[in-house]
């Protein structure tokens, strides 16, 4: 059994890269308002919201039967993300869902090496997703998977491939959940003509709990479970002392300061793995959502202006058969993301 698990996880250990070392990052972008409001991932949350499925296929359940979801995300600047899906319950045979994610990065001006104009070109990504989940042996465990077929085109460079997500959920009547997600394991059939790109494989672990007799649901996600060092170092920095937007001060050689710096680096790296947040359940039909992504804060700040990068705020409203969502997320100091979502329950 141990050998089987090791063989299953080996592709993630071997190919999970950080800091621009892999391609196809659009497979991890928070397209839905639910994911964006939860700091970039809602994989730890369980409920009736079909928007949860994008972050974890095991969240798909029979309460989402005949739900249709539409989401529009103005990610940053002219980057626009679209998401649409439909879920259907098949009784004892489980629940299925089909969804489409579209990523449009705008229009670019092309030039050759001599500065001559080559005209405008566009960059687009597309992912078609088949999701399936079911209760495991009539227990509190839910298992689910997503099969993704993706296409990518940047100017004349094209790529395509397949990836799978696999999730496990435990949830009980006290609204306590534990979840584990294996994300973006797959193959690249066509690779921009380069031939050495890798998928952004990942493992996430999450927990959530509805506080008894209080209108709060708290959640925590630990990202990149199998890779400890997720800090970013500039590839042009041979000394390894630069952050994403500047240089760090050299540490004194005294034992105390070296120990202090080492602890600070380890604590900072641990925090980069965490996404935390809360849902404020003001009523059955109106929720407030707050999320915070520590890694986004570390990597997208600048020394002069830290800002509130990593913070996301969302609202959720139910009106009869319709559900409306809006999320504002601070991606970088000068980059804001807004997401609109609508669900129709037939």
The reply to whether 159 falls in a domain is: yes
Tell whether 187 is covered by a domain.
yes
Supply the mean pLDDT for the chain: 84
| CA dist., res. 284 & res. 217, Å (int) | 13
Average pLDDT over residues 44-53: 95
Q: Is the pLDDT of residue 47 over 60?
A: yes
Q: Is residue 253 scored above 90 in pLDDT?
A: no
Q: Which helix (H) or strand (E) holds 119?
A: strand 117-135
Nearest to 186 by CA among 136, 148, 159: 148
Which pLDDT score, from 0 to 100, does residue 250 have?
41
* Domain contains 49: yes
Whether 344 maps to a domain, the answer reads no
The tens digit of pLDDT for each residue in 167-202 reads 999 999 889 999 999 999 999 999 887 777 889 999
What's the burial of 232, exposed, middle or buried (CB within 10 Å: 0-12/13-18/19+)? middle
Is 75 part of any domain? yes
In sequence order, the 6+-apart residues with CB closer than 8 A to the CB of 314 are: 33, 34, 36, 37, 288, 289, 290, 291, 325, 326, 327, 328, 339
- Domain residues for the domain of 151 are 11-225
pLDDT band of 261, cuts 50, 70, 90:
low
Q: Which residue has the higher pLDDT, 86 or 263?
A: 86
Write the CB contacts of 334 (distance below 8 Å, at least 6 apart in sequence): none
**Which letter, b or e, does each residue of 209-222 get, where b requires 16 or more Cβ atoms within 10 Å of its Cβ?**
bbeeeeeebebebe
Residue 296, token pair as written in the block: 């986004």
Asked if residue 280 has pLDDT above 70, the reply is: yes
What is the tally of structural domains in the chain? 1
Higher pLDDT, 21 or 332: 332
> Backbone phi, then psi, for 144, in 5-degree steps?
-160, 160
pLDDT in tens, 318-345: 998 999 999 999 887 777 899 999 999 9
Distances (CA, A) of 335 to 70, 74, 78, 233: 23, 10, 11, 21
218 in any annotated domain: yes
Does a structural domain hold residue 20?
A: yes
Residue 17: pLDDT over 50 = no
252: confidence class by pLDDT, cuts 50, 70, 90: very low
Check residue 229 and give its pLDDT: 86
Q: Give the DSSP H or E segment for 258.
A: helix 255-272
Q: What is the pTM of this model?
A: 0.84
pLDDT band at 299 (very low <50, low <70, confident <90, very high): confident
Please check whether residue 310 lies inside any domain of the structure: no
């Amino acid at each position: 059994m141990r050998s089987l698990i090791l063989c299953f996880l080996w592709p993630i250990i071997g190919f999970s890269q950080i800091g621009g070392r892999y391609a196809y990052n659009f497979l991890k972008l928070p397209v839905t308002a639910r994911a964006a409001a939860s700091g970039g991932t809602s994989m730890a949350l369980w409920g009736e919201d079909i928007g949860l499925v994008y972050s974890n296929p095991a969240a798909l359940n029979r309460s989402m039967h005949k739900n249709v979801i539409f989401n529009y995300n103005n990610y940053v600047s002219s980057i626009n993300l679209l998401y649409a899906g439909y879920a259907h319950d098949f009784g004892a045979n489980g629940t299925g869902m089909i969804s489409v994610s579209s990523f449009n990065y705008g229009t670019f001006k092309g030039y050759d090496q001599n500065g001559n104009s080559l005209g405008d070109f566009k960059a687009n990504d597309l992912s078609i997703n088949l999701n399936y989940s079911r209760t495991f042996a009539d227990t509190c465990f839910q298992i689910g998977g997503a099969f993704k077929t993706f296409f990518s085109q940047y100017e004349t460079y094209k790529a395509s491939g397949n990836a799978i997500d696999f999730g496990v959920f435990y949830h009980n009547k006290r609204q306590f959940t534990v979840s584990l997600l294996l994300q973006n394991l797959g193959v690249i059939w066509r690779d921009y003509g380069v031939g050495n790109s890798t998928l952004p494989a990942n493992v996430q672990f999450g927990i959530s709990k509805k506080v008894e007799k209080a209108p709060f649901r708290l959640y925590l996600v630990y990202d990149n479970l199998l890779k400890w060092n997720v800090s970013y170092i500039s590839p042009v920095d041979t000394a390894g002392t630069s952050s994403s937007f500047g240089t760090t001060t050299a540490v004194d050689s005294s034992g105390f300061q070296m120990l202090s710096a080492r602890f600070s680096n380890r604590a900072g790296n641990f925090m980069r793995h965490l996404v935390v947040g809360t849902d404020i359940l003001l009523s059955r039909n109106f929720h407030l959502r707050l999320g915070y992504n520590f890694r986004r804060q570390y990597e997208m700040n600048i020394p002069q202006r830290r800002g509130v990068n990593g913070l996301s705020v969302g609202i959720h409203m139910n009106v009869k058969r319709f559900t409306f969502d809006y999320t504002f997320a601070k991606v970088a100091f000068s980059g804001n993301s807004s997401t609109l979502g609508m669900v129709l329950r037939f």
